[in-house]
């Protein structure tokens, strides 16, 4: 199992705000790795730095052996890093089908697009029923399914999910997490950012704990769950 993604001492900024202060982490092929931490810890920023939406001022991001630190976002997607952003980012005035088509933007083979779409519908049958509906008219859960499905259209080597449980009813959160687990079992590497640390740690192999732009702790998910600091700060166990 090689390292699929590796960050070394990454520093990112929003204007003058120093958001990531030297993040180093790695994700091995076939793993589910989760980043947990409170609001503003830099979880989303880490994903945004990997996918090229912002560029690191210092440090290196390496994907499958290639240094992608200064690559543009649309190039990184083509290299196999799918990013399902926070707030889902679906296109409200495109239909479900068009949204999925967009996910396969860099694929030129219509047959392959159709195949992938069938796979997505297998995973989320609900989307197939809504195929001609506008993205903006879907419920929150359906939108999340669409966002994940869209991220899968390119069959990415690593899928980065940002807060997939946000704003969803508990029963839907279970559906989403079951799907993530299933995807991983089928071979997709997952990097998961979650507020719901308990859920995240229950499906992840390893985890990193972020605090104000720095990694303060890393371990196997099982061990993190039992860690006193994690329990107190993120799992609500006194």
Partner 1 sequence: MKQFTSNPFYKFILFPIGQMLVFILGASLALSLFIILLAFLFRSNVTDFDLVERTLLILPQVLINGITIGFVYATIALGYTMVYGVLEFINFSHSEIFMVGGIVGVELMAYFDHTGALQTMNQYVVIGLAILLGMVISGSLAVTIERIAYKPLRGAPRLVPLISAIGMSFFLQDAVRLILSLTTGEFNVILPNFGTFDEFLILAVPGIENPLRFQIKSILLVGVTVIMLVGLNYLVNGTKVGKAIRAVAQDRPSASLMGINVNLIISITFLIGGALGGAAGVLFAIKATRLDPFVGFFPGLKAFTAAVLGGIGNLTGALLGGLILGLLESFGASYLSIFTNGAFGAEYKDILAFAILIIVLIIRPSGLLGQTVAQKA
The minimum distance between CB 197 and partner 1, in angstroms, equals 25
Contact between 207 and 219 (Cβ < 8 Å): yes
Q: What is the DSSP string of 180-235?
A: HHHHHHTT-EEEEEES-HHHHHHH-SEEEEEETTEEEEEEEHHHHHH-HHHHHHTS
Tokens of 143: 């939108």
The minimum distance between CB 144 and partner 1, in angstroms, equals 14
For partner 1, the closer of residues 48 and 206 by Cβ is 48
Binding mask 47-66 for partner 1 (x = CB under 8 A): ----xxx-------------
Within the chain, what is the greatest distance between any pair of CA atoms?
54
The minimum distance between CB 67 and partner 1, in angstroms, equals 19
For partner 1, the closer of residues 25 and 154 by Cβ is 154
The minimum distance between CB 59 and partner 1, in angstroms, equals 21
C-alpha closest to that of 164 among 180, 183, 187: 180
d(CA 61, CA 137): 37
The minimum distance between CB 139 and partner 1, in angstroms, equals 17
The minimum distance between CB 53 and partner 1, in angstroms, equals 6
d(CA 134, CA 205): 36
Helix axes 170-185, 110-123, angle to 10 degrees: 130
**Phi, psi angle pair for 44, to nearest 5°:** -65, -40
Residue 93 as a binder of partner 1 (CB under 8 A): the answer is yes
Stretch that binds partner 1, among 92-100, 175-183, 220-228, 230-238 (CB under 8 A): 92-100
Stretch that binds partner 1, among 59-67, 91-99, 121-129, 193-201 (CB under 8 A): 91-99
Residue 103 as a binder of partner 1 (CB under 8 A): the answer is yes
Residue 101 as a binder of partner 1 (CB under 8 A): the answer is yes
Stretch that binds partner 1, among 3-11, 60-68, 69-77, 170-178 (CB under 8 A): 69-77
173 Cα distance to chain centroid: 15
Q: How many CB atoms lie within 10 A of CB 10?
A: 24
d(CA 148, CA 102): 13
Q: What 8-state DSSP symbol labels residue 94?
A: S
Binding mask 133-172 for partner 1 (x = CB under 8 A): -----------------x---x------------------
For partner 1, the closer of residues 66 and 106 by Cβ is 106
Which residues make up the interface to partner 1 (CB under 8 A)?
A: 51-53, 72-74, 77-78, 82-83, 85, 89-94, 98, 101-103, 105-106, 150, 154
């Amino acid at each position: 199992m090689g390292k699929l993604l590796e960050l070394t001492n990454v520093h990112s900024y929003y204007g003058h705000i120093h958001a990531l202060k030297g993040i180093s982490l790695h994700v091995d092929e076939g793993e589910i790795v989760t980043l947990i931490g409170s609001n503003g810890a830099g979880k989303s920023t880490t994903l945004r730095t990997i996918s090229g939406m912002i560029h690191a001022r210092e440090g290196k991001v390496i994907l499958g052996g290639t240094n992608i630190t200064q690559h543009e976002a649309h190039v990184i997607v083509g290299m196999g890093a799918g990013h399902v952003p926070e707030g889902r980012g679906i296109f409200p005035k495109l239909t479900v089908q068009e949204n999925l088509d967009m996910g396969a933007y860099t694929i030129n083979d219509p047959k392959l697009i159709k195949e992938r779409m069938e796979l997505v519908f297998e995973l989320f049958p609900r989307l197939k029923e809504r195929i001609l509906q506008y993205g903006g008219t879907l419920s929150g859960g359906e939108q999340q399914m669409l966002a994940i499905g869209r991220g899968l259209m390119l069959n990415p080597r690593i899928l980065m999910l940002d807060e997939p449980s946000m704003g969803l009813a508990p029963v839907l959160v279970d559906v989403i997490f079951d799907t993530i687990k299933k995807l991983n079992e089928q071979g997709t590497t997952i990097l998961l950012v979650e507020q719901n640390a308990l859920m995240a740690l229950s499906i992840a192999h390893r985890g990193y704990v972020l605090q104000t732009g720095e990694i303060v702790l890393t371990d196997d998910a099982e061990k993190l769950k039992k860690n006193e600091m994690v329990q107190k700060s993120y799992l609500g166990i006194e």
